[in-house]
Amino acid sequence: MPDRYQTMLLFGAPGAGKGTQGKILGQIPGFFHLSCGDVFRSIDINSELGRTFREYSSRGELVPDEVTVKMWAQNIRAQTILSIYKPHDDLLILDGIPRSVAQAELMDEYINVLEVIHLVCSDKEKMIERLQRRALKENRADDAKEEVIRRRWEVYERETHPVLDYYPKSIIREVDAIGSPAKVLEHVLMAVVPVQETHFHNTLA
Ligand code: AMP
């Protein structure tokens, strides 16, 4: 197992399309996508951690940092042991973590961040509409209520946005998040493919 996982972060406000882009990239050989929110949602809601997740996410707030990073580290380790994620072959695409500077610090032990794709959305109301549409489709309680979505935005601006200053400017790529998933993907790939090719050599994957 390498010392630290070679990683790219998908970064952006709620509704910016991190999950959509991450899922597409995760289908391509040489990339492994992991969404922190999906990991939380997969936990048994009757377990202690499941209840903690529900308590915070239903208010649009972040689960405490230490609990989150511990859960994330256990999950990625399990995926590695099961060879679902192969650190020597795959660039790790993280979406939804780190979501605070404290998480970024804790995660330095596990990940080497090669690039941060910042999905920039200038139109907040458009993002809120996107989230409401998704909530209906995916039955997500946290995004069904407008007040919870607005709270998620406040939390993003206060706690998550500062994470951008934690990493060197030279590794941050800004991509316009407004547009069709295919258009956004075109720009995400332009940023990501060179990084993946530089660090991995799985041409026959
Ligand atoms: P997401 O699917 O990424 O929008 O996450 C849904 C909810 O899960 C968030 O509103 C938080 O309550 C929780 N969550 C996901 N990722 C994190 C994280 N890195 N730190 C703390 N809470 C998180």
Provide the whole-model pTM.
0.93
Q: Is residue 140, in this structure, part of any structural domain at all?
A: yes
Question: Counting atoms of ligand 1 from 1, which one is nearest the CA of 56?
Answer: 12
48's enclosing H/E stretch is helix 48-57
Residues 6+ apart with CB under 8 A from 109: 4
Tokens 């992991």 appear where? 34
Q: Is residue 12, in this structure, part of any structural domain at all?
A: yes
Q: Is residue 186, in this structure, part of any structural domain at all?
A: yes
Domain extent for 160:
5-200
Q: Is residue 82, in this structure, part of any structural domain at all?
A: yes
**Is residue 52 packed enough to be buried (19+ CB in 10 Å), middle (13-18) or exposed (0-12)?**
middle
DSSP 3-state of 172 = strand
Q: Is residue 205, in this structure, part of any structural domain at all?
A: no
Each of the 205 residues of the chain gets a pLDDT tens digit; together they read 558 999 999 999 998 999 999 999 999 999 999 999 999 999 999 999 999 999 999 999 999 999 999 999 999 999 999 999 999 999 999 999 999 999 999 999 999 999 999 999 888 888 888 888 888 887 777 777 888 888 999 999 999 999 999 999 999 999 999 989 999 999 999 999 999 999 897 655 4
Q: Which of 63, 100, 106, 145 has the most ligand 1 atoms within 8 A of CB, as the residue to mutate?
A: 63
What's the domain count of the chain?
Answer: 1
Q: Domain with 40 in it: what CATH number?
A: 3.40.50.300
Structure tokens at 140: 């997500």
Q: Is residue 95, in this structure, part of any structural domain at all?
A: yes
Q: Is residue 176, in this structure, part of any structural domain at all?
A: yes
Gap between the Cα atoms of 167 and 181, Å rounded: 26
Tokens 């493919």 appear where? 193
Q: Which of 42, 62, 132 has the most ligand 1 atoms within 8 A of CB, as the residue to mutate?
A: 62
